[in-house]
Amino acid sequence: MYTRMMSHLVISLIIMYLVLTLQSEAKLHNYDPAIPDTVDQLFVDFQKDVYAKQAKHSLEYLYNNYNSFKKDFEQYKTKKIITKRLGVVDLSFKQFQQFMKRFSRIYKNIEEFRIRYDLFLQTWDLFKDQMVAGQKLAMSNLSDRTLSEQTAEHDRLLNESHRPVINKDPKPKPPDKNPKEAPSDQNKEQVPSAKVQQDD
């Protein structure tokens, strides 16, 4: 239980640090984009197939840069084939693919993918050299989230951490030392029964 509380505390501290830093950055740049919510099922399937190929070949990433990712998606639309496209190496995009794999991210459409990648890049630039509890801060669960989403997650965790702990196994109450005696039938006052008159 102590370990669980400590891990919650560490996670809360990481999130609080991320949110506060990103809030200040977002206010400077006024960057809290709207995330498109239209689902492109073909793009969702493409991402799932990419994950399957990564798992099959034990790969951390499949694409060297965003353009090779986009080109492979265009090919996937017609041929339903995943290829490992090389191209010029972009370390940030490799990191993003590792992040997506680690947190099982699947985005609804290519526009959301691009926005999430841009958000990840901002977070990566801010926190790439910072570590908390042995973890890179730039690779946290919130690295691809907007300021609004991060704030909501922070508030949720804060509310959870202040929730009272309910003891589900309370100790039984000890019996009373001087229990009051229940009145016996003999001591009860006799109430005369009422006679019912019948009309003829």
CATH architecture of 39-158: Orthogonal Bundle (1.10)
Residue 110: predicted pLDDT: 96
Angstrom distance (rounded) from CA 101 to CA 82: 16
Residue 119: predicted pLDDT: 93
Nearest to 45 by CA among 70, 84, 82: 82
Residue 126: predicted pLDDT: 78
Domain map (residue ranges) of the chain:
39-158
Angstrom distance (rounded) from CA 8 to CA 122: 25
Exposed e or buried b per residue across 111-141, where buried means at least 16 C-beta atoms within 10 angstroms of its C-beta: ebbebbbebbbbbbebbeeeeeeeebbbbbb
Contact 119, 144 (CB under 8 A): yes
Residue 109: predicted pLDDT: 97
Residue 28: predicted pLDDT: 44
Contact 59, 37 (CB under 8 A): no
DSSP per position, 45-84:
HHHHHHHHHHHHTT-S-S-SSHHHHHHHHHHHHHH-----
Tens of pLDDT along the chain (200 residues) come to 666 666 666 776 676 666 666 555 554 454 688 999 999 999 999 999 999 999 999 988 899 999 999 999 999 999 998 887 778 999 999 999 999 999 999 999 999 999 999 999 988 887 766 655 555 655 778 889 998 888 888 788 778 776 665 655 556 566 666 655 555 555 555 555 545 555 54
